[in-house]
């Protein structure tokens, strides 16, 4: 008799886990409305994108950001305002580099 309630609880928990997993995958809409990244270099290091493999791409505050590698993400997250300013000045100047590599 105890197996029926256990199966019901297991089924409900499994459904909740699956629902949460599918909801977490719904991040595609945010990148569709993001402003495209205008540069062909990494915002952090200044290296050409694609030089060491596929760039690391993500959206931050509605702006698509491309980095040469995931390692640069730590620097970006430490000072996002600094890199947004760098992006704005490089995009406004029409240049392809946001500055010298650090």
Q: Tell me, what's the pLDDT at 25?
A: 47
Q: Tell me, what's the pLDDT at 9?
A: 81
**Measuring CA to CA, which residue among 77, 57, 64 is closest to residue 33?**
64
Distance of alpha carbon 12 from alpha carbon 98, whole angstroms: 51
Query: Is 69 within 8 Å of 49 (Cβ atoms)?
Result: no
In the predicted model, what is the mean pLDDT of residues 51-71? 94
In the predicted model, what is the mean pLDDT of residues 33-41? 93
User: Which tokens in the block code for residue 50?
Assistant: 């694609």
Burial of 4 (0-12, 13-18, 19+ CB in 10 A): exposed
| Alpha-helical segments (H) within 1-102 | 3-24, 28-32, 72-78, 80-93
User: Which tokens in the block code for residue 72?
Assistant: 């640069």
* pTM recorded for the entire structure: 0.61
């Amino acid at each position: 008799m105890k197996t029926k309630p256990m199966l019901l609880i297991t089924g409900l928990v499994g459904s909740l886990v699956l629902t949460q997993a599918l909801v977490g995958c719904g991040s595609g809409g945010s990148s569709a409305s993001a402003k495209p990244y205008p540069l062909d270099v990494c915002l952090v290091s200044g290296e050409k994108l694609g030089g060491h493999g596929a760039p690391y791409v993500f959206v931050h505050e509605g702006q698509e950001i491309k980095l040469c590698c995931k390692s640069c993400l730590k620097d970006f997250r430490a000072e996002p305002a600094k890199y947004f300013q760098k992006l704005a000045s490089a995009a406004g100047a029409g240049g392809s580099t946001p500055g010298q590599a650090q």
